[in-house]
Structure 1
């Protein structure tokens, strides 16, 4: 009884607050006998639904950085659209949805020649309007390079140092800097802020070594990276395992896929606790995903478990066959997670699949006309084709794909399976080119993408560098 009474005190309080807003309906007049009788009736029947209907058009607003061209259109989950003029530094768009409801904001149409990202606030819960959304626009010309002296150099130093890279495969940006899997030097480097010299090395005793090792501090060809609130997951490919490093510790505290830190056995079978070919990784608040490339699957490990609870690409944890359907995979290499579901770069089938929620059946395919086609650049290279994509990244309601063999990065707006922007093809925005190159506008075998408030980071593998747009 006390709890119910407390709920209705809150209800009355909310009605008082909302009904004194001039734009709200006056369906909850606190001074009316009808209102009081209604509240008492609902209380007696244990009806906890809201008494007051809030019918108002709230707004989503925030800042814009770098919008130099026209063409950008914003869209809310309720269908409101706003065309934003070039040079705008702020925006406000109405959303016809009530207090406490969920919302999303997406870029329905990208501006000319540049790419914009909703960096924060693209989804959430409406509380009297949202005003802190941030949109940052980026050119398709890189403005920072890691691992090289300039944009026209592509050397791999031997022995390595804190300024060099060799065949980097994965990049992971957080709010303070970036992690890079420097695969050719069998180490992971961390770069703080905007500094292009590494400040930390994982997997080696110092910046000058690159030896393979099997221990809690040694690795053998790192690939995928993922972070949660407490530390870093690292896919240790040639040791057939995943390591977890707490905080800034360079000694792993957990190992997945092996019985201990000193064992590196490639199991001749598939199981829920076996990782034969770890590649791309992603994490959410409840656990982490790892691509098990050799077994043509992606595994999900919930927090606290050393055995996977979910498998994508196979009908069971013991299956390891390759195929091309909405429920199968062929040599996948990348994975990303969003609030809506999971994306998998199905490299061998030249496509990316989207799985809603926790479903292991894909409902959307990028790069192919259907779920059973698997030709590279099916129908000819264009904005809707892929050729051995290795990386995928989801942010701000958009999807980014490293179309590796086509030497480009593609941006897909919202749920559209036709790309809206291309990076890596000489800055001219052509979807029909796939040339490799070495410049601030070219790429050569890019393998992954990550984004933070600083920019868009790409692991440009054959050029032995990471570049930032």
Structure 2
């Protein structure tokens, strides 16, 4: 009888295809095989990067390496992960594609890109890294809040100018505007084409989502159209009262902030109601709530199930991360569970002191945004004027942006390496985009 785990047999591939078609994600074979996790590296100019596989194997990668290959023994159909357990000293490296998957798919095209910790491009300041004025044009910003890199360009929520700008490619002059008729207007309004203090951004193949914070709603714009076709949190496109002028309910919002998507739906941070809502695609009513026991409450607290003025949200294959701003922490919720299982910035689920009393690599002061990317976690630690990178599931940061390598300083300035109350972050293969809010700019690393 043929060995069902013989990779060279016709039955192996036929049975594996049938198994995947049936939605069975369990390992097909009970025998481990040796594969190699391999790929390319760009920009590794110094030593210090250590890669770690799901089996615990760690490999140090020499400076100047452009390729890597790490043997790993796993069953066919088993899940694999690759992480960076140690960062180089003067740069930061990210796994931009292939950090997790199922053996043997995708294990040979992993892509690692290393970035400088000094900015290479600036939006909103006409190319200057030391100016921090604000303005109203296609080249200036006024208190930007969030950025969204989509691989083709950059969206920025220009909060103070009541608009969202889009920059094509690496151009730092905006080519498209949402919320205004032109690049010289900053009017406030409530309609399908007007925005009042935009904050969060997210995108899917159908179009762009924007949280219209002071209109207490979220809008959807199909394709590249600047006229909204869907509204969350209000009964129509002209209403704007918090909670629709009444009590908290499943169909209301109050000052929504951050937002993100997974494969099946939309997350909106309902900051004024101390909760995060999840909407399945096709529905304007949420199916899940974080931070509250039901859709009618807006309580505050410091527990594994409560939030205080949250502002940011991000998702990974493992679960949901929420920037619990008022509690000076970030919570992780595994899968679709609404009880947090991990906390960043605090020693436990009941502590909520800023910096836990002393600033360090494991503390936070009013985190505004969070981003899960490549198996790592980024936290925009706003009142400490920095952005922290947490490798894997570690709750101690491995890299700091904005403080020239120091985890114990919180100074603010306008240079190519410093921030003044940053509030947003996005990543694509061109770089790491950090929204330096009070310097009225976006820096790219």
Short-chain TM bin? over 0.9
Residue 321 of structure 1 aligns to a residue whose secondary structure is coil
1:52 CA displacement: 6.3
Q: Counterpart in 2 of 1:361?
A: 339
**Are 1:443 and 2:419 counterparts?**
yes
1:94 CA displacement: 1.4
1:18 CA displacement: 3.0
1:379 CA displacement: 3.2
Give the conservation status (yes or no) of the 8 Å contact 2:142–2:159.
yes
Q: Out of 225, 228, 233, which is 1:252 matched to?
A: 228
Distance 1:89 1:306, change over 3 A: same
State the alpha-carbon separation in 2 of the partners of residues 393 and 250 from structure 1.
Answer: 26
Residue 385 of structure 1 aligns to a residue whose secondary structure is coil
Gaps of 5+ in 1: 1-10, 21-27, 30-48
Q: Counterpart in 2 of 1:375?
A: 353
1:130 CA displacement: 1.7
Give the conservation status (yes or no) of the 8 Å contact 1:76–1:104.
yes
TM-score, scaled relative to structure 1? 0.89
Gaps of 5+ in 2: 13-25
Q: Counterpart in 2 of 1:142?
A: 119
The more displaced of 368-377 and 104-113 is 104-113
Greater radius of gyration (CA): 1
Q: Counterpart in 1 of 2:322?
A: 344
How many residues matched? 429
**Are 1:68 and 2:45 counterparts?**
yes
Q: Counterpart in 1 of 2:181?
A: 205
Residue 75 of structure 1 aligns to a residue whose secondary structure is strand
1:319 CA displacement: 0.8
State the alpha-carbon separation in 1 of the partners of residues 174 and 2 from structure 2.
Answer: 57
Q: Counterpart in 1 of 2:289?
A: 311
Distance 1:128 1:273, change over 3 A: closer
Distance 1:343 1:51, change over 3 A: closer
Give the conservation status (yes or no) of the 8 Å contact 1:189–1:200.
yes
**Are 1:82 and 2:51 counterparts?**
no
Q: Out of 164, 180, 197, which is 1:188 matched to?
A: 164
Q: Counterpart in 2 of 1:38?
A: none
State the alpha-carbon separation in 1 of the partners of residues 142 and 397 from structure 2.
Answer: 30
Residue 96 of structure 1 aligns to a residue whose secondary structure is strand
Q: Out of 62, 68, 71, which is 1:91 matched to?
A: 68
1:334 CA displacement: 0.5
Q: Out of 121, 132, 147, which is 2:98 matched to?
A: 121
Give the conservation status (yes or no) of the 8 Å contact 1:58–1:129.
no
Q: Counterpart in 2 of 1:276?
A: 254
State the alpha-carbon separation in 2 of the partners of residues 449 and 86 from structure 1.
Answer: 28
State the alpha-carbon separation in 2 of the partners of residues 195 and 343 from structure 1.
Answer: 31
State the alpha-carbon separation in 2 of the partners of residues 394 and 301 from structure 1.
Answer: 20
TM-score, scaled relative to structure 2? 0.93
1:340 CA displacement: 0.5
Residue 354 of structure 2 aligns to a residue whose secondary structure is coil
State the alpha-carbon separation in 2 of the partners of residues 16 and 386 from structure 1.
Answer: 51
Distance 1:69 1:293, change over 3 A: same
Residue 56 of structure 1 aligns to a residue whose secondary structure is strand
Q: Out of 395, 399, 411, which is 2:389 matched to?
A: 411
Q: 1:269-320, CA deviations, whole angstroms, 9 ceiling, x for partnerless residues?
A: 1111111120000101111101111111100011011111100000111110
State the alpha-carbon separation in 1 of the partners of residues 227 and 7 from structure 2.
Answer: 53
State the alpha-carbon separation in 2 of the partners of residues 171 and 13 from structure 1.
Answer: 52
Q: 1:241-280, CA deviations, whole angstroms, 9 ceiling, x for partnerless residues?
A: 0000111111111001111111112223111111112000
1:13 CA displacement: 10
Distance 1:186 1:397, change over 3 A: same
State the alpha-carbon separation in 1 of the partners of residues 440 and 30 from structure 2.
Answer: 59
State the alpha-carbon separation in 1 of the partners of residues 8 and 56 from structure 2.
Answer: 24
Q: 1:93-126, CA deviations, whole angstroms, 9 ceiling, x for partnerless residues?
A: 1121122221111111111121110001111111
Distance 1:59 1:129, change over 3 A: farther
State the alpha-carbon separation in 1 of the partners of residues 28 and 356 from structure 2.
Answer: 56
1:86 CA displacement: 0.7
**Are 1:238 and 2:214 counterparts?**
yes
1:177 CA displacement: 1.2
Q: Out of 357, 361, 366, which is 1:388 matched to?
A: 366
Give the conservation status (yes or no) of the 8 Å contact 2:155–2:164.
yes
Give the conservation status (yes or no) of the 8 Å contact 1:389–1:401.
yes
Q: Counterpart in 1 of 2:197?
A: 221
State the alpha-carbon separation in 2 of the partners of residues 273 and 138 from structure 1.
Answer: 42
1:127 CA displacement: 2.0
Q: Counterpart in 2 of 1:25?
A: none
State the alpha-carbon separation in 2 of the partners of residues 198 and 50 from structure 1.
Answer: 48
State the alpha-carbon separation in 1 of the partners of residues 236 and 97 from structure 2.
Answer: 40
State the alpha-carbon separation in 2 of the partners of residues 221 and 378 from structure 1.
Answer: 31
Distance 1:265 1:439, change over 3 A: same
Give the conservation status (yes or no) of the 8 Å contact 1:59–1:129.
no
